[in-house]
Structure 1
Amino acid sequence: MALAKNPRSVLHALEPIGLGTGEVESLLSYLCRLAVSHSTSTLSLSRAVAQRFEHEVEEQFDWYHRSLSGIGESALTWSSALSAMTSVPRLDRLTFLPWKEVIAQNGLPIISKGQFCPQCFADDHNSGRTPYFRLAWESKSVSVCHVHRSRLTQHCPCCGKDNVRHAASLVVPGWCTKCGSFLGCEAHGHDTQLSIKPVELWRARQIRELLQAQDQLDVLPQRQALVDSISHIIGEMDGGKSAHFAKRLGISKSTIHYWLQTDNTPTLEASLRVASQSGISLLKLLSGDLFGWNAPSEGQQLALALLKPVTQQRAQRREIDWREVEIQLQRCLLEPAPISVREVSRRLGIEPRQLYLNFNQMTRQIAERWKAYRKRVRDERVEAAMPHIESAARSVLSTGKSLNLREVTSHVQPDVLSGVHGLFRVLREVRERGR
């Protein structure tokens, strides 16, 4: 873990990863790694940062609900705060803030349940690098990894739970916050490779180019240059007729009117549509750089039309073969490795409540088998971590300090504690043994 030479910073001057590349780290990842470098929880560090800058911290403060890597106030506040406390300049480059003037304030949705590419984590681990979250993963516009051409996921390959990347008080990037297992898997995602659409890869490539360029921007992109570029594109492609161009994009003509005649700014999704239909890259469009651009020919337009949003058709009612479902449930019960009802539901494409309604006994057996397995895993992790915790407890008590979570986490590596379920209960047991 590289540290910049700056002894005067309040927090470790941790070097961001991937600056100047499409694999640049997100600010959220930076905060998590910073907490690990201080041997503390991300919750404790986030509270300390918020309190230092005199922000009121609610009792139920959840740092991971903030859009730290977006273009809003949270991104600006936290990037400036962490820059001030680490003395590492321009941490806004770990967010989408460089593009805030050319993307509508609410026009860059950030994924709420952290998605990730298991193969990227595996590459980090295998090459000896510190696993980290890529900024590109934070955008809802990105659903696949452009490097590995595999779909991003929110599920742990071990415990099958979702929202496992960072939604916890103690986070070690690359490890599941629910079961503590490593989230990197070489083979994960190959089975969904065939279902990836060209438009998904195109979107991922556009965002990747955007992030690669933002560290080298001499001047931040401005809204007026973007609007002028869109106006020029409409003139070249549709003779200045906004209604025709709006039809190409699959949006209302009033939306384009608001861009051109008011101070409204296109969303990231809208700019992606403009780029896809005009044949210009998203980077050049948002930068207002039309040098070398020409309106696509008829053949090119036909190819670009593949990226045009299509109206969603109502799915046909599915006929479920309940006999086949029953057979699959029986097979799940006979599998050597227990799986959760949620995973069974995902495999069969049937909601868990339908499984409980139609095959109550078998579904409950699967659930109980999974619960027993998870308890056994948790007990094994506690047993493995107990020597470390007891050693830390002795060190803490020998200095005359009280035994609490903060003191223990400062003496034990975060990756040891990340897999321990019910850490407060474990500490209580250690206290009782020491009496």
Structure 2
Amino acid sequence: MADELFFLLRPEFPAPTPMYGRRPMGEGTGDIESLFSHFLSLSHDHRLTPKKVIDLVLPEVLAKLSRFDGTRLGWGWDKNAGKEMIGSGHVAERWSTILSSATGQTGLQLATMVPLAAHVYGDMTTDQDRVCHQCLGDDEAQGRLPYGRLLWRMKCVACCPTHRCALVTPVCGRPPDTTKRQFLRVKLAGVCSDCGSIGHRCNTAKAPIASADEVWRAEQCRRMITAFPAIEASDPAQLPQRIKEYCAEPGSLTSLALRSGATISVLSRWINQPGARLTFDQILDICGTEGLELAALLQGRIEKTDSFGTPVAPKRIRRVVRPANHEAIRTALKAAVETGDSVTSVAERLRVDIATLAQHADLYAEVRMATRNRKAASDTARQDAAIAKAEGVAIKLLRDGRRLTPRNAKGKGAYFYPSTVEWTVLALIRIGLGDRSVRHPTSAVRMSDAFLSKIEAAARRVRATFGETQAMLLLDYR
């Protein structure tokens, strides 16, 4: 009776997972741990290296996720300090799903830039790790291992908004003879990978004080990360719609573009074309010049920020389009016909685009035709040289009564690599002489009819002299 009562009243136990159900540190705040740092911490808790987790634990998880059939994890997972693991692309989304299945924890995508994927576009993360030494010291003072914040990996964030000091790339400050050997090092965010110093205390360089604009940008991004759950659930179409309403007055959109360093055509396309997205840096510049709250704007609300003083200067600099010197362009195109330069090289030298050159249709077409003819002549010369070399080797081998094989050709001082065109020509000549043991080269499919006709003519010349001497080898190819 007691056993039956236990089974009736037993609690619902979570499904077992191959790894601990560890949550990212700083969760729910703007100082949330990045997914890359979380993965390193998770591996450290299991007393395994991250590579061991990838090789031994995660394949079992991948086998149960049908949506990732054929996916392999291995080389490159930590490239650029785990940049792809914390970005806004499908790779970061895949990593968050895999680690969620491995630990049974949901919401790990909030430790990446994935919540912004539907709202903005562009590369938002740095290629290197960056830290605030004072924050790492605070972690130790609170009795936890230092960890890497997602905020620190954002390109537009140059400082710590809490301590108002610049973020620095961690570099070991101890002599090389004091560093740990490679197999004794611990790969963990907030710990020096060379000497093992916790909190990067080995580097005593003092970080410079950040400017007011840098602090404002960092604080806006930290508030945005705090609001990631609401941003992820919001409608992306509301963001451009609010800006359209904000610029409802005639000329307002042009004024906004001038103040924020944007291009009026880009802003117009963004607010009028469904599905269009703006770069994150441009949206942050708009918030800086207008004093808007970034987190609220991404959710489709216009709110003035409470920490706004003077307008924050935009970081994006509008591209300066210089007028083209069409007389110099015509002179350069005429010279290119004689010198053999391509339209691409002319455009690079004059610092103009191809469309500008194409405005001079007559000279543009003449230069392109000359380039095409020159390339065709070069290809013909290369083909003729390959045929002559292969045909010469074939005649030498047949005079000695030997088969036309690459190994025998090497004895005549002509070694043909499988990737060279001479290899393909020699194989086709063998086929033309009656050797049916040769597999048809796959590269021959890409050869032009004119090239194949010349190879066939070479095979006929060799056959007229020696006949079909290449009898099929008595080999079993089954």
TM over 0.5: yes
Give how far 1:145 is off: 0.6
Once the two structures are superposed, residues 307-359 of structure 1 have per-residue CA deviations (whole angstroms, 9 ceiling, x without a partner) of 565679xxxxxxxxxxxxxxxxxxxxxxxxxxxxxxxxxxxxxxxxxxxxxxx
Q: Which residue of 2 aligns with 1:91?
A: 108
Once the two structures are superposed, residues 333-391 of structure 1 have per-residue CA deviations (whole angstroms, 9 ceiling, x without a partner) of xxxxxxxxxxxxxxxxxxxxxxxxxxxxxxxxxxxxxxxxxxxxxxxxxxxxxxxxxxx
The within-5 A match list for 1:255-294 is 255-262=266-273, 263-290=275-302
Kindly provide the amino acid, as one letter, of the partner of residue 249 in structure 1.
S
The within-5 A match list for 1:198-209 is 198-209=212-223
The within-5 A match list for 1:125-164 is 125-159=140-174
**Aligned residues with identical type, % of pairs:** 24
Q: What is the rounded CA distance, in whole Å, between the counterparts of 1:218 and 1:241 in structure 2?
A: 26
Q: What is the rounded CA distance, in whole Å, between the counterparts of 2:160 and 2:116 in structure 1?
A: 22
Change (3 A) 1:17 1:222: same
Q: Which residue of 2 aligns with 1:173?
A: 189
Q: Which residue of 1 aligns with 2:242?
A: 229
Task: Check conservation: 1:28, 1:68, Cα contact below 8 A.
Answer: yes
Instruction: Give the alignment partner of residue 93 of structure 2, picking from 76, 90, 93.
Output: 76
Q: Which residue of 2 aligns with 1:114?
A: 129
Change (3 A) 1:235 1:185: farther
Q: Between Structure 1 and Structure 2, whose CA radius of gyration is higher? A: 2
Secondary structure of 1:208's match? helix
Change (3 A) 1:259 1:160: farther
Give how far 1:173 is off: 2.2
Q: CA RMSD in A?
A: 3.3
Q: Which residue of 2 aligns with 1:397?
A: none
Gaps of 5+ in 2: 1-12, 63-68, 320-478
Residue 11, structure 1, aligned to residue 27, structure 2? no
Kindly provide the amino acid, as one letter, of the partner of residue 220 in structure 1.
A
Q: What is the rounded CA distance, in whole Å, between the counterparts of 1:221 and 1:32 in structure 2?
A: 31
Q: What is the rounded CA distance, in whole Å, between the counterparts of 1:8 and 1:52 in structure 2?
A: 12
Kindly provide the amino acid, as one letter, of the partner of residue 260 in structure 2.
L
Kindly provide the amino acid, as one letter, of the partner of residue 261 in structure 1.
N
Kindly provide the amino acid, as one letter, of the partner of residue 283 in structure 1.
A
Give how far 1:26 is off: 0.9
Change (3 A) 1:140 1:117: same
Task: Check conservation: 1:249, 1:274, Cα contact below 8 A.
Answer: yes
| TM-score of the two chains, using structure 1 as the length reference | 0.60
Q: Which residue of 1 aligns with 2:311?
A: 304
Task: Check conservation: 1:119, 1:184, Cα contact below 8 A.
Answer: no
Task: Check conservation: 1:233, 1:278, Cα contact below 8 A.
Answer: no
Task: Check conservation: 1:119, 1:187, Cα contact below 8 A.
Answer: no
Give how far 1:61 is off: 3.6
Secondary structure of 2:25's match? coil
Give how far 1:254 is off: 1.6
After TM superposition, the structure 1 stretch with the greater mean CA deviation from structure 2, 78-87 or 253-262, is 253-262
Q: Which residue of 1 aligns with 2:117?
A: 100
Kindly provide the amino acid, as one letter, of the partner of residue 106 in structure 2.
P
Once the two structures are superposed, residues 261-306 of structure 1 have per-residue CA deviations (whole angstroms, 9 ceiling, x without a partner) of 3222111101101111211111111111126799x9xxx7xx2154
Task: Check conservation: 2:41, 2:188, Cα contact below 8 A.
Answer: yes
Secondary structure of 2:233's match? coil
Q: What is the rounded CA distance, in whole Å, between the counterparts of 2:216 and 2:152 in structure 1?
A: 15
Once the two structures are superposed, residues 149-177 of structure 1 have per-residue CA deviations (whole angstroms, 9 ceiling, x without a partner) of 1111113252499xx9xxx9951222111
Q: What is the rounded CA distance, in whole Å, between the counterparts of 1:292 and 1:9 in structure 2?
A: 45
Secondary structure of 2:286's match? helix
Q: What is the rounded CA distance, in whole Å, between the counterparts of 2:44 and 2:203 in structure 1?
A: 28
Residue 49, structure 1, aligned to residue 58, structure 2? yes
Secondary structure of 1:245's match? helix
Once the two structures are superposed, residues 41-95 of structure 1 have per-residue CA deviations (whole angstroms, 9 ceiling, x without a partner) of 1122234425742554477444344511221111110111111110011111211
Q: What is the rounded CA distance, in whole Å, between the counterparts of 1:175 and 1:311 in structure 2?
A: 40
Q: Which residue of 1 aligns with 2:343?
A: none
Kindly provide the amino acid, as one letter, of the partner of residue 255 in structure 2.
H
Change (3 A) 1:185 1:69: same
Kindly provide the amino acid, as one letter, of the partner of residue 301 in structure 2.
D
Give how far 1:222 is off: 2.3
Task: Check conservation: 1:279, 1:304, Cα contact below 8 A.
Answer: yes
Task: Check conservation: 2:172, 2:203, Cα contact below 8 A.
Answer: no
Kindly provide the amino acid, as one letter, of the partner of residue 137 in structure 1.
W
Kindly provide the amino acid, as one letter, of the partner of residue 244 in structure 1.
S
Q: What is the rounded CA distance, in whole Å, between the counterparts of 1:293 and 1:130 in structure 2?
A: 34
Residue 124, structure 1, aligned to residue 136, structure 2? no
Change (3 A) 1:209 1:275: same
Secondary structure of 2:48's match? coil
Kindly provide the amino acid, as one letter, of the partner of residue 288 in structure 2.
S
Q: What is the rounded CA distance, in whole Å, between the counterparts of 1:59 and 1:286 in structure 2?
A: 35
Q: What is the rounded CA distance, in whole Å, between the counterparts of 2:71 and 2:252 in structure 1?
A: 51
Change (3 A) 1:46 1:63: farther
Q: What is the rounded CA distance, in whole Å, between the counterparts of 2:189 and 2:166 in structure 1?
A: 19
Give how far 1:108 is off: 3.8
| Higher RCO (C-alpha under 8 Å, 6+ residues apart) | 1
Kindly provide the amino acid, as one letter, of the partner of residue 243 in structure 1.
T
Once the two structures are superposed, residues 233-276 of structure 1 have per-residue CA deviations (whole angstroms, 9 ceiling, x without a partner) of 2225xx35433321111122121122123222111101101111
Task: Check conservation: 1:25, 1:133, Cα contact below 8 A.
Answer: yes
Kindly provide the amino acid, as one letter, of the partner of residue 279 in structure 1.
G
Kindly provide the amino acid, as one letter, of the partner of residue 304 in structure 1.
P
Tell me how many residue pairs correspond in the alignment: 291
Q: What is the rounded CA distance, in whole Å, between the counterparts of 2:174 and 2:305 in structure 1?
A: 49
Q: What is the rounded CA distance, in whole Å, between the counterparts of 1:232 and 1:188 in structure 2?
A: 50
Change (3 A) 1:128 1:231: same
Give how far 1:226 is off: 0.3
Instruction: Give the alignment partner of residue 211 of structure 2, picking from 176, 185, 197.
Output: 197
Q: What is the rounded CA distance, in whole Å, between the counterparts of 2:197 and 2:126 in structure 1?
A: 22
Give how far 1:197 is off: 1.9
Change (3 A) 1:276 1:118: same
Once the two structures are superposed, residues 385-433 of structure 1 have per-residue CA deviations (whole angstroms, 9 ceiling, x without a partner) of xxxxxxxxxxxxxxxxxxxxxxxxxxxxxxxxxxxxxxxxxxxxxxxxx
